[in-house]
Amino acid sequence: MKMSSWILCVLLCLSMCVGGDLALSRDQKVSGARRRRAPVPGDDSSQKECSYTFLVPEQKITGPICATQGSSLPDKDRVTRMDVADVRELLSKQRREMDMLRLLVDVDGNMVNEMKLLRKESRNMNSRVTQLYMQLLHEIIRKRDNSLELAQLEARVLNATAEALRLSARYRELEARFSTLAGVVNNQSVLIGVLEERCLQVYGNHRHEPVGPPLVQVVPENIPVSVPRLTNEIQRDHGRAFPRDRGSRAGPSPTGSTLEGQGPSQGNFSSDGPFRDCFQAMQAGHTTSGMFLLKPDGGERPLQAWCEHELDNGGWTVIHRRKDGSVNFFRNWESYTKGFGNIDGEHWLGLENIYHLGHQGDYRLMVEMEDWTEKKVYAEYSSFHLEPESQSYRLRLGTYQGNAGDSLSSHNGKQFTTLDRDKDNFSGNCAHFHKGGWWYNACGQTNLNGVWYSGGVYRSKFQDGIFWADYGGGYYSMKAVRMMIRPID
């Protein structure tokens, strides 16, 4: 484009130059005509036509043009000052026109550049508009999809709501039918009872109902005040207490104010061990109660146990604990053999573990109990061990001492009974009536693995609470119980 402009410019210049030449020829002619009118001295042949020849330098005239005046040149060849002025005027005119043309060319070039910029901007605008259009299209599609999803979700919610309403109606219907059937069953039960009574009257044969074990009739003679039946009140025993001279170490005695002070503390676990028992752990320097790793002689694997070091010289291995009813003790033989519960809470250490512990030496047993007035009593037996599983972990006890009364000696020599292994001396299964495994007789004076009843005195067809008959009778369930063993000093 620029090249073509320059070509156009050059052509214009040439045409102007030609025009100038033509104009110059005309001026020359005029000048010649004027000269023809001027008299030429010594020339009488005025009829002859004069001609002038101008030599115009191609290059730019930068200085004055000197016209030589001499008599050697003929008059017709002389260049007058007017001619020079004419030429100069002509040249300056051409120069102005050239400048004008150059200015026009520059303006055209600027316009061309602006046009280019505008075109480029236009292309950018087009691409931007295209991009915006695509984005708009995409947004429209996405919103349409979202609307579809929302509609589907709403439909699902509506379906779920309808289903819930339907199920609710169905539930109410079933509830009504259940009530109706329950009424029918009750009526039939009454009718059956009436019919059975009539049958017995007619045939005179009284059916033998399942007979439970004999209820404990022990009067708690060992406690100085009688415990009223069917009341939760137990008066404190101010006359009897744990012997204070049982140990030389300072520390809470079993008659301490609360069990919690002697109970497990959270996170109290020693990484030392394993020890044979808690007594060995105490001898190793552990004097704070907590969980320890034990491995009794003959035991297959280590076990965790709670060691009570703050009671009666310490070194007690806790084999059983009740405190809040958080663990179910109505379990089968395998569970009682392996043990269950939480070591820092209610638990049963396991018959097999207790058997191995008790066979490492001579041990004594401490049964510590707390009633619902926070009074604590104890029963201690001078020796304790179990016979192996082949003998159903038969209980072997020494002599009793304590202030709780001796309710366990009647279980001495008895085998362990669970719901699925009946080894007691009763025609039925004592574990069934007393709701837990124990060394039942028929069924006995105590069961510390029964149901944890809140409040002490409980109502039950069978004596299935945590009772110690010589303390509170068979219908008083203790609040907290611990069984612990320790080597004999």
The contact pattern for Ca ion, residues 363-402, with x = CB under 5 A and - = no contact, is ----------------------------------------
Q: Give the bridge partners for 473, in sequence order.
A: 468
User: Which 3 state secondary structure label does DSSP give 75?
Assistant: helix
The tokens for 288 are: 């704070």
**Residue 292 C-alpha from the chain's centroid:** 33
- Whichever of 400 and 426 has its CB closer to Ca ion, that residue is 426
Shortest separation between residue 236's beta carbon and Ca ion, angstroms: 38
> Residue 285, exposed/middle/buried by CB under 10 A (0-12, 13-18, 19+)?
exposed
Give the amino acid at 154: E
What is each CA distance from 8 to 21, 94, 104, 107, in whole angstroms? 20, 16, 12, 14
Instruction: Give the sign of the dihedral formed by CA 450, CA 452, CA 456, CA 461.
Output: negative
Size of the site for Ca ion (CB under 5 A): 3
Instruction: Single out the residue of 360, 245, 354, 241 nearest to residue 303, CA to CA.
Output: 354
- Whichever of 234 and 430 has its CB closer to Ca ion, that residue is 430
The answer to the question of residue 27 lying near Ca ion (CB under 5 A) is no
- Whichever of 385 and 432 has its CB closer to Ca ion, that residue is 432
- Whichever of 340 and 462 has its CB closer to Ca ion, that residue is 462
Shortest separation between residue 433's beta carbon and Ca ion, angstroms: 10
- Whichever of 370 and 424 has its CB closer to Ca ion, that residue is 424
The contact pattern for Ca ion, residues 97-136, with x = CB under 5 A and - = no contact, is ----------------------------------------
Shortest separation between residue 420's beta carbon and Ca ion, angstroms: 12
The tokens for 50 are: 């004069």
Shortest separation between residue 201's beta carbon and Ca ion, angstroms: 33
> From the CA atom positions of the chain, what is the Rg in Å?
64
The contact pattern for Ca ion, residues 417-446, with x = CB under 5 A and - = no contact, is -----x-x-x--------------------
Shortest separation between residue 428's beta carbon and Ca ion, angstroms: 6
d(CA 117, CA 222): 116
Are 476 and 373 spatial neighbours (Cβ–Cβ below 8 Å)? no
Residues 6+ apart with CB under 8 A from 319: 305, 348, 349, 353, 354, 357, 483, 484, 485
d(CA 459, CA 448): 17
- Whichever of 354 and 430 has its CB closer to Ca ion, that residue is 430
- Whichever of 44 and 209 has its CB closer to Ca ion, that residue is 209
- Whichever of 276 and 421 has its CB closer to Ca ion, that residue is 421
Shortest separation between residue 454's beta carbon and Ca ion, angstroms: 30
- Whichever of 213 and 339 has its CB closer to Ca ion, that residue is 213
* Beta-strand pair 347-348/376-381: unpaired
Residues 6+ apart with CB under 8 A from 6: 105
Taking CB under 5 A as the binding criterion, the range among 62-70, 148-156, 331-339, 416-424 that sits at the site for Ca ion is 416-424
Shortest separation between residue 423's beta carbon and Ca ion, angstroms: 7
- Whichever of 208 and 244 has its CB closer to Ca ion, that residue is 208
> Residue 418, exposed/middle/buried by CB under 10 A (0-12, 13-18, 19+)?
buried
Taking CB under 5 A as the binding criterion, the range among 30-38, 130-138, 415-423, 481-489 that sits at the site for Ca ion is 415-423
User: Which 3 state secondary structure label does DSSP give 411?
Assistant: helix
Dihedrals phi, psi of 68, to nearest 5 degrees? -75, 125
> Residue 74, exposed/middle/buried by CB under 10 A (0-12, 13-18, 19+)?
exposed
User: Which 3 state secondary structure label does DSSP give 234?
Assistant: coil
Shortest separation between residue 350's beta carbon and Ca ion, angstroms: 23
Shortest separation between residue 429's beta carbon and Ca ion, angstroms: 5
Shortest separation between residue 217's beta carbon and Ca ion, angstroms: 20
Shortest separation between residue 376's beta carbon and Ca ion, angstroms: 33
Are 362 and 354 spatial neighbours (Cβ–Cβ below 8 Å)? no
- Whichever of 189 and 427 has its CB closer to Ca ion, that residue is 427
Residues that bind Ca ion (CB under 5 A): 422, 424, 426
